[in-house]
């Protein structure tokens, strides 16, 4: 059952890849398109679009409207927009002014391959294209507008971008002043860390679920519970990411391959779950988020299709156990 569910989450991957490919056709030889293709293909895990499609399908199939064929066309632009926004954030994340990573997914980071100016402009183009796709999704205008607003909120001043800004300067010593214009002296580091993870990673994952549910016209309580479940899953995702960084750096193989000048993410002065709680403490917190994720899903089980529910359950298990 588990293997089937794991395959279940990714069963739309090929359709998704083909659809995304057509947005940036290989025949377009312009500098911008070549840069965009470098950032997008081959992609990473595509976890956010898969979660968006799975949530959509789980809500829709519960209403006996199977999300195959034509119906999938409705969610593909939304799922693709989310992947473009994710890619935009990774391009910027690797820039010298941010994490200064020279590799991404085992290949040169975009600014290394194409220069910083092209990388920055390519990330702008992805951002713009994402909203173009959302605006053109084949759902009711009201649902499209709601998804546009939700996704914009998840990225901006109270979302991913804010989380990234706090993260890049979040060293143990100065993090308290970074939190607010008016310093809050006694804010505990564990709260700061949770807040940063929530903003920089969990909000985009949560809105992936939420958008799928909105486009499927799920009931408001289902939409909000899926968003909550996505927040837990996003926290789990970033904790496992930091644990993977520790494992990689302990093996002496940092992501950049040349991290001599850069403080590794596993260094004690960088605020991460492993630096604050240790490896075991982080694993136990990851398990805690997985448990909360599963219990949120159980609350809406009757509003999801049985297959969709199993797929979503499997997503939590997969992320807890992930090795990449």
Lay out the site mask for Mg ion across 298-317 (x = CB under 5 A, - = otherwise): --------------------
Q: Work out which of 57, 83, 99, 242 binds Mg ion, going by CB under 5 A.
A: 99
Least distance from Mg ion to the Cβ atom of residue 98, Å: 6
DSSP string covering 237-268, please? HHHHHHHHHHHHHHTT--SSS-GGGS--TTST
DSSP state of 198: I
- 45 interface partner picked from Mg ion, ligand IPE, none, CB below 5 to 8 A per type: ligand IPE
In the complex, the smallest distance separating the C-beta of residue 179 from Mg ion, rounded to whole angstroms, is 17
Q: Does 57 bind Mg ion (CB under 5 A)?
A: no
- Three-state DSSP at 202 gives helix
Q: Which among 154, 156, 136, 157 has a CA at the least distance from the CA of 145?
A: 136
Residue closer to ligand IPE, measured from CB, 242 or 303? 242
Are 95 and 124 a contacting pair, CB within 8 Å? no
Q: Which is nearer to ligand IPE, 160 or 222 (CB)?
A: 160
Q: Given the rule CB under 6 A, which residues bind ligand IPE?
A: 44-45, 47, 89-90, 93, 99, 101, 105, 160, 164, 200-201, 238, 241, 245
Q: Report H helices in the chain.
A: 2-9, 13-23, 31-40, 47-62, 70-94, 110-114, 116-135, 141-155, 160-168, 175-178, 189-197, 203-215, 220-250, 273-299, 306-320
151, 89 Cβ separation under 8 angstroms = no
Given the complex with ligand IPE, which of 34 and 45 has the nearer CB atom? 45
227 sits near Mg ion (criterion: CB under 5 A):
no
150, 211 contact by CB (below 8 A): yes
Report if residue 245 touches Mg ion, rule: CB under 5 A. Answer: no
- Please, which residue, 83 or 99, has the CB nearer to Mg ion? 99
| Tokens of residue 33, six digits | 């398109």
Q: How far is the CB of 61 from ligand IPE (least distance, A)?
A: 25
Q: Which is nearer to ligand IPE, 60 or 246 (CB)?
A: 246
In the complex with ligand IPE, the residue whose CB is nearer, 140 or 269, is 269
Strand partners for 104: 107
Query: x-or-dash pattern for Mg ion, window 64-93, by CB under 5 A?
Result: -----------------------------x
Q: Does 242 bind Mg ion (CB under 5 A)?
A: no
Q: Which does 155 bind (CB under 5 to 8 A by kind): ligand IPE, Mg ion, none?
A: none
Choices 43-51, 55-63, 97-105, 179-187 (CB under 5 A): range interacting with Mg ion: 97-105
What is the DSSP secondary structure assignment for residue 137, as one 8-state letter?
-
- Token output for 178: 């970074």
CB of 98 to ligand IPE, least distance (A): 8
Contact 286, 293 (CB under 8 A): no
| In the complex, minimum distance from the CB of residue 280 to ligand IPE, in angstroms, rounded to a whole number | 21
* Residue 27, helix vs strand vs coil: coil
Q: What residue number has its CB nearest to ligand IPE?
A: 44
Residue 311: closest CA among 81, 35, 62: 62
138 binds, among Mg ion, ligand IPE, none (CB under 5 to 8 A by kind): none
Torsion of CA 270, 275, 277, 278, to 10 degrees: 170
Smallest distance from Mg ion to CB 212, Å: 26
| Cα 1 from chain centroid (whole Å) | 26
Q: What is the closest distance, in whole angstroms, from the C-beta atom of residue 99 to ligand IPE in the complex?
A: 5
Contact residues: Mg ion, CB under 5 A: 93, 99
């Amino acid at each position: 059952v588990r293997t089937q569910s794991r395959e279940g989450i990714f069963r739309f991957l090929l359709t998704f890849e083909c659809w995304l490919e057509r947005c940036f056709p290989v025949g377009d030889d312009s500098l911008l398109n070549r840069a965009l293709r470098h950032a997008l293909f081959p992609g990473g895990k595509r976890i956010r679009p898969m979660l968006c499609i799975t949530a959509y399908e789980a809500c829709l199939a519960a209403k006996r409207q199977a999300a195959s064929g034509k119906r999938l066309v409705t969610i593909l632009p939304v799922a693709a927009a989310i992947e473009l926004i994710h890619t935009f954030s990774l391009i910027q994340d690797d820039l010298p002014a941010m994490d200064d990573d020279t590799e991404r997914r085992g290949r040169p980071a975009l600014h290394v391959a194409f220069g910083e100016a092209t990388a920055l402009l390519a990330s702008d183009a992805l951002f713009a294209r994402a909203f173009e796709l959302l605006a053109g999704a084949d759902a009711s205008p009201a649902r499209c507008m709601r998804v546009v607003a939700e996704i914009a909120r998840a990225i901006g001043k109270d979302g991913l971008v804010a989380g990234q800004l706090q993260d890049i300067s979040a060293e143990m010593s100065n993090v308290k002043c970074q939190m607010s214009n008016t310093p809050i002296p006694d804010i505990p580091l564990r709260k700061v860390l949770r807040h940063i993870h929530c903003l920089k990673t969990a909000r985009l994952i949560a809105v992936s679920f939420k958008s799928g549910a909105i486009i499927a016209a799920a009931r408001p309580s289902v939409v909000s519970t899926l968003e909550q479940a996505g927040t837990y899953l996003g926290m789990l995702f970033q904790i496992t990411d930091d644990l993977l960084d520790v494992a990689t750096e302990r093996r002496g193989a940092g992501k950049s391959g040349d991290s001599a000048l850069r403080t590794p993410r596993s260094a004690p002065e960088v605020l991460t779950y492993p630096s604050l709680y240790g490896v075991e403490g982080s694993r136990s917190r990851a398990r805690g988020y997985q448990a909360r994720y599963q219990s949120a899903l159980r609350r809406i089980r009757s509003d999801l299709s049985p297959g969709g529910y199993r797929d979503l359950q499997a997503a939590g298990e997969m992320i807890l156990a992930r090795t990449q």
